[in-house]
Amino acid sequence: MPRKIKIAILFSGNGSNMQNIIETFHQKKIAHESKEYFFEIKGCVCNQKDAFGITRAKNLGIPCLLLPHQDFADRISFDLALEKEIKKMEVDLVVLAGFMRILSKKFCDSFKIINIHPSLLPKYKGANAIIESFESGDREVGVSVHWVNEELDGGAIILQKSFLRMPEDSLEVFSQKIHALEYEIYPEAIKKAIASL
Ligand code: GRF
């Protein structure tokens, strides 16, 4: 019998990584390191009401809860509401996919959480990683998946992949290459992360 793995995905915007994860894993039997897993994406949570990802989740038939952080008095009360909702889903892993919120220590300690970041961490933490990486002049650039703790983009690295940037690449081309690498690395990192749970 494959081991069942239940996942919740949190996002704030476009949701292309969320879509990729749902399409790769939802209700699929997947082997990794000679073990078999059966994945279920239990649901998504979005904190921005105008996020395009909400439409993606709907089209994919995955429940998506809208929890606008603006409706809460402070970070602690938002995180408590989020924690309550995710506990209801009874998941093994929480996957952040462009979720633009720093999470409190209490929340981070309550779940196994992973995040994808569009730079070779510890370089270029924060919300402007693609532009900072593009403008850095670094020849080797890439993407990281890491465990989440209360420190912004600070948890242990699960997987990183890099490529050599072409000097002629525009920001648009550069961003496309980063995103293409994200779609490759996140599913791989999820398998690696669950194997360690
Ligand atoms: C990605 O670049 C991811 O690395 C970062 O936020 C972006 C989300 O893009 N954390 P999308 O919403 O998955 O399209």
CB environment 114-139: b (16+ within 10 A), e (fewer): bbbbbbbbebbbeeebbebbbeeebe
Q: How confident is the model at residue 136 (pLDDT cuts 50, 70, 90)?
A: very high
Q: Closest by alpha carbon to 98, among 1, 13, 187, 190?
A: 13
Q: Does the beta carbon of 15 sit less than 6 angstroms from any atom of ligand 1?
A: yes
| Residue from 94, 96, 122, 134 nearest 110 by CA | 94
- The one catalytic residue in 26, 117, 146, 179 is 117
Q: Where are the domains of the chain?
A: 3-195
Cα(1) to centroid(ligand 1), Å = 34
- For residue 57 and ligand 1, the question of a CB distance below 6 A is answered with no
Mutate to test the pocket of ligand 1, among 10, 179, 186, 190 (most ligand atoms within 8 A of CB): 179
pLDDT of residue 189: 98
pTM across the whole model: 0.97
Would you say the CB of residue 97 lies under 6 angstroms from ligand 1?
yes
Topology of domain 3-195 in CATH is Rossmann fold (3.40.50)
pLDDT in tens, 19-58: 999 999 999 999 999 999 999 999 999 999 999 999 999 9
Averaged confidence pLDDT in the chain? 97
Map residue 147 onto helix, strand or coil: strand
Catalytic annotation present for 117: yes
**Region 139-165: what's the mean pLDDT?**
96
Cα first-last separation, the chain = 18
